[in-house]
């Protein structure tokens, strides 16, 4: 068995879309998948990419992916890598592919002089939490994720701007 990790390219867009949908099914969130494939492609591979994708393969067949982007730590004064999505097809779990994807992300973080690699995990996903802890990750119990989206984002964005003059 050969495990390989490679950067995704524009030709991988249908595969990426398929893997995102498979991840959403696993997380019981398929009803929240709303992306337009053309827009996704532009945001990943256009003039200003907002995220990057690694494809994980076993014996040449794509079996998983990691979608990530850079964030920034003001306390560290350095960028970090935020892993938005990590998914390995059920039939490929236990093959070492998930670990290989995370190891490649850690290597990228080191190569890019990042202070950290971080991600969120659903609190019910005990297999993933155990897997991550086994790699040395730690839960950030003192932090809570906050989100503004949909109509609340529209309302907040429509607030009057304060002039800097």
The residues that are catalytic are: 132
- Dist CA 89 CA 56 (whole Å): 10
Q: Which residues of 7-20 are buried (b: 16+ CB within 10 A; e: fewer)?
A: ebeeebbeebbebb
CB atoms within 10 A of CB 165: 3
- Cβ burial of 121 (10 Å; 0-12, 13-18, 19+) is middle
- Dist CA 23 CA 31 (whole Å): 12
- Dist CA 99 CA 115 (whole Å): 20
CB atoms within 10 A of CB 76: 11
């Amino acid at each position: 068995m050969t495990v390989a990790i490679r950067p995704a390219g524009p030709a991988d867009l249908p595969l990426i879309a398929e893997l995102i949908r498979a991840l959403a099914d696993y997380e019981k969130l398929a009803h929240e998948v709303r992306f337009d494939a053309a827009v996704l492609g532009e945001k990943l591979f256009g003039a200003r990419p907002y995220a990057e994708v690694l494809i994980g393969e076993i014996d040449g067949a794509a079996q998983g992916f990691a979608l990530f982007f850079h964030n920034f730590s003001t306390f560290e004064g350095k960028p970090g890598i935020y892993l938005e999505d990590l998914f390995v097809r059920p039939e490929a779990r236990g093959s070492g592919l998930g670990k290989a994807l995370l190891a490649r992300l850690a290597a990228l973080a080191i190569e890019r002089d990042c202070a950290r690699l971080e991600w969120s995990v659903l609190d019910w996903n005990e297999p993933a939490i155990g897997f991550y802890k086994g790699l040395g990750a730690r839960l950030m119990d003192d932090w809570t994720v906050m989100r503004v989206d949909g109509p609340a984002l529209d309302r907040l964005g429509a607030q009057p701007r304060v002039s800097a003059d």
